[in-house]
Amino acid sequence: MGLISNGTTLLDAGALDSGVATGAMTLIKTLTASSDGTLSFVHGASSVVFDGTYKEYIFKCVNMHASSDNSQGQEFEFNVSIDSGSNYNVAKTTTTFRSGHNETDTTTQLSYVGSYDLANGTGFQGVTEGDGIDNDQCCSGTIHIYNPADTTFVKHYMSNFNAYRHNDFSANWYTAGYVNTTSAVNAIRFRFLGGNMDSGTIKMYGIK
C-alpha cells in the first residue's frame, strides 16, 4: 500500500516516487587539514564550483581539531569573498545562540550569545567557542549558503556546530544571518581563531 499525502503518492511499495525526490546532494570537493592555517574553497581554483550551478551549497566540517588551546577564546570560524579569495572581508549581519551540558552533569545552558553577532561586520564569523585540543576533543558541523551567485539579493546562511570544549563541555551552536552584498560570493575560508587546524575534513556539496 502506498503512502499518500494530500492526494499525492509519496511512497509506493517502499520506493520514493521519482516526481517527489528533489534536491540531491552532489559532492564537489573535499579538503583535509594537516597543520593548515586555513582551508579555502575558491571558484575557478582546481575546478571548484561555487557559482550559480547550485542554488544551495553545504559545507560539512568533520572532526576539526585545533593545534593550540586558546581556552575560552578558541573558535572555529569562516568568512567569504566576492573577489575570488583576494580578500575575505564581506559585511555580514548575524545572530547566535547555544545550548550546552558538561560531562559531570552539573551545568547546563541555553543562551543567546550577543558577543558572536556581527552587525554589518566584515570580520570572520565564529561558529564555536572554547574548542579543546585533547585527543578526543574537536568540533563538527554544517554550514548552508543559499544562492551565492545571485546579484539581486543578499546571501543567507545558517550553521549548526557541536564542539567538545576545553572544559569537557558539549556546546551546540546555532548561527545564522546574511552576507550583505548583492555581488556574487565566490569563495569561502575556514580557520581556527588561535593556531592551525591540526586535522579535520571539510566537504563541499551542491544542491539544485
Give per-residue pLDDT as tens, 45-92: 777 888 999 999 999 999 999 987 655 557 999 999 999 999 999 999
Full-model pTM: 0.86
> Which one, of 162, 170, 169, lies nearest residue 141 by Cα?
162
pLDDT of 130 higher than 90: no
Domains in the chain: boundaries: 23-207
Fold (topology level) of 23-207: Jelly Rolls (2.60.120)
Edge-to-edge order in the sheet of strand 39-42: 39-42, 187-192, 76-81, 125-126
Residue type, 166: H
Burial of 192 per CB tally in 10 Å (0-12, 13-18, 19+):
buried
Q: Residue 68: its pLDDT value, please?
A: 78
What's the pLDDT band for 16 if we cut at 50, 70, 90? very low
The pLDDT tens digits for 132-148 are 888 889 999 999 999 99
Q: Residue 73: its pLDDT value, please?
A: 52
DSSP secondary structure of 21-59? ----EEEEEEEEESSBS-EEEETTSTT---STT-SEEEE
Kindly report the average pLDDT of the chain as a whole number. Answer: 88
Instruction: Report the DSSP pairing between strands 187-192 and 76-81.
Output: antiparallel
DSSP secondary structure of 69-87? --GGG--EEEEEESSTTS-
